C-alpha cells in the first residue's frame, strides 16, 4: 500500500499523514507547503503541487504509483472568491479523478466531504443519515462539496477503482489550532448569543478519524457514501458552562458576520449562521456497522481534549 494525500499539510491531512507514516505505510504528500513534522521520515515523500496543476500531477502519479488516494485539498474559505474557489475545489477534483482513473495502480479514491453538505434546515432530522437529502443552500463550502460528490460518483471510471465519500463532522484533537473558526471562538470568547446555548454540535476526535480512515484504506471492497462522526453530540451550554449568554437579535449577528467575513476576521460564511439554529448531527450507523467500530471519544471528550486551553478565558474553563 502506498497512499497519496492531497492537502497533506492541512489540519486533517497532517494528522492522517502522520498516523499512516507511524504505521510504516508509505505516504506521498501533495500540498503547497511541506509538513515539517515528517521531515526526514522514511515513510513520507513531499511534492509541492496544486491539485489544478494537471501535468505536474500526472508526472507525480506516474513516478510514485500510489495504490490509494485520499483527496483532502480544499480552499476552505481561504480565498473569498466564489468563482475561484469553485475552479480550484471542483476543477482540481476533476483533475484528481481523471488521473486516478488513468493510473492503473490506484485502486481506491477517498474524498473528504463535509457534514455541511446536508444543509442547516428547519426540517433536519435529529440524526442525519447518508440517504437523507443533500441541501447545502447558499453555503458555498457545502455547495462545492456537493458539486465534487456529484462529479466523483457520476463520472465513469474503470471497474477496479473504488470511490469512497466521507461526510465528516468537525474534526478536533490535541493539536487543533485553526484560528477564526467557530471552535476557536468557543474557546476564546467569554460570551455567546443566547440562541446558541442549546445548539447541538458534533466533534470527531482525530484518533477516531485516523483509525476509520485506516480501516477504509484496508477495505478492498468498500465504496459509496459514509458519515464519519461519533455516535454522540454535544450542546454548547455543556461544553462551555462558564460562558455568558446574551440576547442578541439574529439579524444583528448575521450583519456582524457579513462584515467580519470579507475582512477575514472570522472563518464563518454568513450563510453558516443557520447551523446555530438548525443543527447538523450525523448518524454514523453505516460506518459503525461496516467495521463494528467503537468510538474512543464521545463528542464531549473530543472537545475536551483540545490542548490550546490557554486560549480559554479563566471564567470559561471547563
pLDDT of residue 318: 33
Total residues belonging to the chain: 318
3-state secondary structure of 261: coil
Tens-place pLDDT, residues 49-62:
999 999 999 999 99
- Please give the Cα distance from 53 to 136 (Å, whole number): 28
User: What is the average pLDDT score of the chain?
Assistant: 88
How large a percentage of the chain has pLDDT more than 70?
Answer: 92
User: Given this model, what pLDDT does residue 129 score?
Assistant: 97
Task: Please give the domain boundaries of the chain with CATH numbers for all domains.
Answer: 3-176+202-232+280-300 (3.40.50.720)
Q: What one-character-per-residue DSSP string does 49-100 give?
A: --TT-HHHHHHHHHHH--SEEEE----TTSS--HHHHHHHHHHHHHHHHHHH
11: Cβ contacts below 8 Å, ≥ 6 apart: 171, 176, 177, 178
The mean per-residue pLDDT over the stretch 142-162 comes to 94
Instruction: Give CA–CA dist 172/208, Å, rounded.
Output: 10
Question: Between 180 and 89, whose confidence is greater?
Answer: 89
More confident residue, 185 or 203: 203
Comparing 80 with 124, which gets the higher pLDDT?
124
Please tell me the distance from the alpha carbon of residue 255 to that of residue 242, in angstroms, as a whole number.
26
Taking phi over 0 as left and psi of -120 to 50 as alpha, with beta for the rest, 30 belongs to: beta
Whole-angstrom Cα distance, residue 227 to residue 154? 19
What confidence tier does 315 reach under pLDDT thresholds 50, 70, 90? very low
pLDDT in tens, 92-151: 999 999 999 999 999 999 999 999 999 989 899 999 999 999 999 888 888 999 999 999
Amino acid at each position: 500500500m502506498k497512499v497519496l494525500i492531497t492537502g497533506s499539510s492541512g489540519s486533517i491531512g497532517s494528522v492522517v499523514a502522520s498516523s499512516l507514516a507511524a504505521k510504516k505505510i508509505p505516504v506521498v504528500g501533495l500540498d503547497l507547503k511541506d509538513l515539517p513534522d515528517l521531515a526526514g521520515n522514511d515513510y513520507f515523500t513531499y511534492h509541492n503541487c496544486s491539485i489544478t496543476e494537471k501535468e505536474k500531477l500526472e508526472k507525480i502519479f506516474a513516478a510514485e504509483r500510489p495504490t490509494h488516494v485520499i483527496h483532502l485539498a480544499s480552499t476552505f474559505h481561504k480565498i473569498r472568491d466564489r468563482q475561484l474557489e469553485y475552479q480550484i475545489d471542483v476543477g482540481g477534483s476533476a483533475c484528481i479523478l481523471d488521473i486516478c482513473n488513468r493510473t492503473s495502480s490506484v485502486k481506491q479514491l477517498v474524498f473528504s466531504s463535509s457534514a455541511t453538505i446536508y444543509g442547516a434546515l428547519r426540517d433536519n432530522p435529529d440524526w442525519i443519515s447518508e440517504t437523507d437529502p443533500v441541501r447545502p443552500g447558499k453555503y458555498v463550502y457545502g455547495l462545492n462539496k456537493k458539486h465534487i460528490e456529484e462529479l466523483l460518483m457520476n463520472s465513469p471510471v474503470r471497474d477496479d477503482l473504488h470511490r469512497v465519500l466521507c461526510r465528516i463532522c468537525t474534526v478536533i484533537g490535541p493539536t487543533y489550532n485553526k484560528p477564526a473558526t467557530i471552535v476557536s471562538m468557543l474557546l476564546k470568547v467569554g460570551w455567546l448569543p443566547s440562541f446558541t446555548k442549546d445548539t447541538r454540535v458534533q466533534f470527531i476526535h482525530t484518533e477516531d478519524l485516523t483509525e476509520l480512515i485506516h480501516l477504509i484504506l484496508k477495505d478492498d471492497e468498500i465504496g459509496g457514501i459514509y458519515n464519519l462522526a461519533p455516535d454522540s453530540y454535544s450542546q454548547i451550554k455543556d461544553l462551555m458552562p462558564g460562558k455568558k449568554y446574551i440576547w442578541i437579535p439574529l439579524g444583528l449577528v448575521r450583519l456582524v458576520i457579513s462584515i467580519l467575513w470579507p475582512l477575514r476576521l472570522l472563518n464563518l460564511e454568513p450563510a453558516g449562521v443557520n447551523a446555530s439554529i438548525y443543527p447538523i448531527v450525523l448518524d454514523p450507523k453505516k460506518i459503525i456497522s461496516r467495521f463494528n467500530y467503537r468510538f474512543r471519544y464521545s463528542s464531549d471528550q473530543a472537545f475536551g481534549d483540545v490542548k490550546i486551553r490557554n486560549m480559554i478565558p479563566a471564567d470559561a474553563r471547563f
